[in-house]
Amino acid sequence: MRFVHKYADMIASAADVALRGRSVLRVSDLSPLEIGTVLAVATHLKNGRSADQLPMLRGRTLGMLFEKPSLRTRVSFEVAMTQLGGHAMIAQGPDFMVGTRETPEDAARVLSRYVDAIVVRTHAHEPLERFTAAATVPVINGLSAVAHPCQALADLLTIKEGFGTLGGLRLAYLGDGRNNVAASLAEACAMCGISLTFGCPPTHRPSEAFLAHLQRLGKPYGATVRAFSSALRAARDVDVVYTDVWTSMGEEHLAERNAAALLPYRVTPELMGVAAKHALFMHCLPAHREQEVSAAVIDGPQSVVFDQAENRLHAQKALLLALLTDLRGIPV
């Protein structure tokens, strides 16, 4: 059966979605329909018995190449493979630096002979694109300087669990509007009909080109994107308030400048007070209490940060199944 899909709220039949063999470096590498399918598979897996899922990736190996630290991404991918009956291995530090010991292309060609899919956490995005172009197995961006698509999928799953829908909601992102988490979240919102407001100073505002890209992405789904220098204006009446660290990995030399510029964008109880009464607070973690967010907010009743962290596992299991199988047997 085929449907006409406009929003990722809608669910495709597995036959409508041809994700098998593809790579995902940015959220916009997926269509809204494909995002909807990944979310539906994630919900199915989350509600199911893990014993039933064991055979799904039996005999498959996921390679994980990490140039930066990670708790959630690394562990959730490893557990995902274990729960699906496969195996994950990690190379990090001096064993793997994209383009340092050998070209990204050579590393990708070699690893494609060993493993069935590869997760890469890296600094610059361009070597990751070269790596992906040369790989003959799916490559998943586990965070680069410009994108964190796995986080955004888990975020959408969490928002959908909270509100039962995505299209028509409003989300405010406070803080560094130029970072990887903000960029992927913004693409995800636009493609799923969630209107987005950035609250950030001019130094941390997304580029005009990226804002225009988001407007184009969101237009067919009724999503608008606006950037405000007032945190209160950005957060007014929104359904979700989201923030991330002020200084991302690899940018530690900017920490002092960022802290000074972003202090007015801290998510405090007062700021949550201008959002809708039912608003959720979200953060990709790791978090720094009393920097980007008050302890009273992140540890308070509106916070869903640990649901987000758990949903990394379910969303990534769904993504792995979509990239490595034809989703046969999964009722979505």
Single-letter amino acid, residue 279: A
Distances (CA, A) of 227 to 103, 248, 261: 39, 20, 16
Report d(CA 198, CA 229) in Å as an integer: 8
User: Of 67-75, 79-87, 126-134, 262-270, which segment contacts ligand CP by CB under 6 A?
Assistant: 67-75
- The backbone region for 250, taken as left when phi is positive above 0, alpha when psi lies in -120 to 50, beta otherwise, is left
- CA torsion, points 332, 221, 20, 92, in degrees to nearest 10? -110
Count of residues near ligand NVA by CB under 6 A: 9
Binding partner of residue 287 among ligand CP, ligand NVA, none, CB under 5 to 8 Å per kind?
none
Stretch that binds ligand CP, among 71-79, 184-192, 221-229, 293-301 (CB under 6 A): 71-79
Catalytic residue among 151, 291, 308, 316: 151
Query: Residue 37 or 303: which CB sits closer to ligand NVA?
Result: 303
Residue 141 touching ligand NVA (CB under 6 A): no
C-alpha distances in angstroms, 264 versus 79, 220, 239, 241?
38, 33, 21, 15
Whether residue 148 lies in the annotated active site: yes
- Single out the catalytic residue among 26, 121, 178, 283: 121
Shortest CB 27 distance to ligand NVA, Å: 15
Alpha helices in the chain, H assignment, sequence order: 32-47, 50-53, 72-83, 104-112, 125-134, 149-163, 180-191, 208-218, 231-235, 255-262, 269-274, 295-298, 305-324
Residue 141 — φ and ψ, nearest 5°?
-75, 115
Per-residue contact flags (x/-) with ligand NVA for residues 231 to 270, judged by CB under 6 A: -------------xx--xx---------------------
Which of 53, 122, 144, 151 contacts ligand CP by CB under 6 A?
Answer: 151
Residues in contact with ligand NVA by CB under 6 A are 143, 179-181, 244-245, 248-249, 284
Residues in contact with ligand CP by CB under 6 A are 70-73, 143, 151, 284-285
What is the set of active-site residues?
Answer: 121, 148, 151, 244, 284, 312
